[in-house]
Amino acid sequence: MERRTFIATTGTGIGIGVAGCLDAGGTADEGDETTAINDGEEPRGSTVPATFEVASMATNSPVGGGEVLVVNATIENVGDEEGTTDVDLVVGHDPTVEDSEMLTLGAGETADLTLEFQAGHPAGDTEEFPVCVDTGAHEACETVVVGEAENGNGEPDPGRDVTFESCGRATVSGSFEEGDIAYASTGFYTEAGFGNTIIEDGVTIGEDVAPFTGTITFEISDGGAVSEGVDGVTVTVPDYGEYGTAITGLTTDPDDYAVAGITHSNPRAADCLAEFESEWEDETGQNGEPTPATFEVASMATNSPVGGGGLLTVNATIENVGDEEGTTDVDLVVGHDPTIEDSEMLTLEAGETADLTLEFQAGQPSGDSESFPVCVDTGAHESCRTVTVE
């Protein structure tokens, strides 16, 4: 029998007891009893159990291949009682717990801890993936980089500390010089369905704000604006959706900006958008209708840099995220003046993925080297990279 504690008013006093489930006639199970308390004291308020939140998180990204990625986090017990939890370092697109520490904190107490992960060697020049600090009740994530990132001039990029705190808030910290950029992309649901923006809300250093060292904060709000404060810049991103808006990624690399690409993806975005979609389906009655076949580029990699006259190879994984089987042409689109250089027809069932290879015969660069975008385009989704011919 299920038992529940209850509080009931009895005249001017308080009755408290333990009751069983009522039967169909509305009577309690035999043997239940109620004890009245009429001492005039106020009932004691309920306490919140120990609840551990990630108050802050920082990493030493970027790191070189084979180096130790260090994650520093501050954990706070925001509950009313002492408690113990395991704090896990969860790494990768296929989440794996790589380090863990048991923590005991009193109510309102905080603790600083360090978690570590031995990075492997990236498949290309660099590799990006999410790392998250997870207390079981709360999670904070950042996108980290392994390998030496380069800017468009072939020089190392300044370090960028990127954090996605929630669906609607993200930060990027570092030193920002003239010409640096920071823009957000979003995903959202309106009554008509899913929509998005690509690098629409943000700042260009030297044009919108003066060079500075500090933090650029992006947060969803009622309207779009840029404001400067003591510690940095705040970019308010409009709430584009009636059923919610999520910051899906940040663009901080000028090369990615040039091809409308995302430098840092929000590892929370998929879960955020799934919640928005569920609410949209419930309120618009769309939950009974299947989604047509929709092909997305799940991953993309190239063999860049290649020599002049060499063969540029692009490997991509395509996923049908719709509810029905379908067929599409997957195109390799090359250059600043976009041209389809290779194409493959693909048929996938709902939820199915396929790996394919597209190729392009590179010409001779006009100088020592030449960089240009290559994109894999399914018609419904596009993913781009900047490649170099030497």
Say yes or no to pLDDT of 154 above 50.
Answer: no
Q: Do domains 47-149 and 290-389 have the same CATH topology?
A: yes
CATH 2.60.40.10 given to domain 47-149: yes
pLDDT, one tens digit per residue, over 60-77 is 888 777 677 889 899 999
Tokens linked to 113 = 């801890």
Residue carrying structure tokens 């991103």: 237
The pLDDT assigned to 124 comes to 63
Average pLDDT over residues 352-372: 90
Which residue ranges make up each domain of the chain?
Answer: 3-37, 47-149, 159-289, 290-389
pLDDT, one tens digit per residue, over 289-335 is 678 999 999 999 999 999 999 999 999 999 999 888 999 999 999 98
Residues 6+ apart with CB under 8 A from 332: 314, 340, 341, 342, 343, 358, 359, 360, 374, 375, 376, 377
Provide the pairing of β-strand 232-238 with 212-221: parallel
CATH 3.30.1330.60 given to domain 290-389: no
3-state secondary structure the chain: CCEEEEEEEECCEEEEEEEECCCCCCCCCCCCEEEEECCCCCCCCCCCCCCEEEEEEEECCCECCCCEEEEEEEEEECCCCCEEEEEEEEECCCCEEEEEEEEEECCCCEEEEEEEEECCCCCCCCEEEEEEEECCCCEEEEEEEECCCECCCCCECCCCEEEEEECCEEEEEEEECCCCEEEEEEEEEECCEEEEEEEEEEEEECCCECCEEEEEEEEEECCCEEEECCCEEEEEEECCCCCCEEEEEEECCHHHHHCCCCCEECCCHHHHHHHHHHHHHHHHCHHHCCCCCCEEEEEEEECCCECCCCEEEEEEEEEECCCCCEEEEEEEEECCCCEEEEEEEEEECCCCEEEEEEEEECCCCCCCCEEEEEEEECCCCEEEEEEEEC
Is the pTM here over 0.75, yes or no?
no
The pLDDT assigned to 119 comes to 81
- Edge to edge, the sheet with strand 212-221 lists 96-105, 83-91, 127-134, 139-146, 161-166, 169-176, 212-221, 232-238, 225-228
pLDDT band at 161 (very low <50, low <70, confident <90, very high): confident
pLDDT, one tens digit per residue, over 179-222 is 999 999 999 999 888 899 989 999 999 999 999 999 999 999 88
Task: Tell me the C-alpha distance between 376 and 340, whole Å.
Answer: 10
Closest CA to 113 of 91, 92, 86, 146: 86
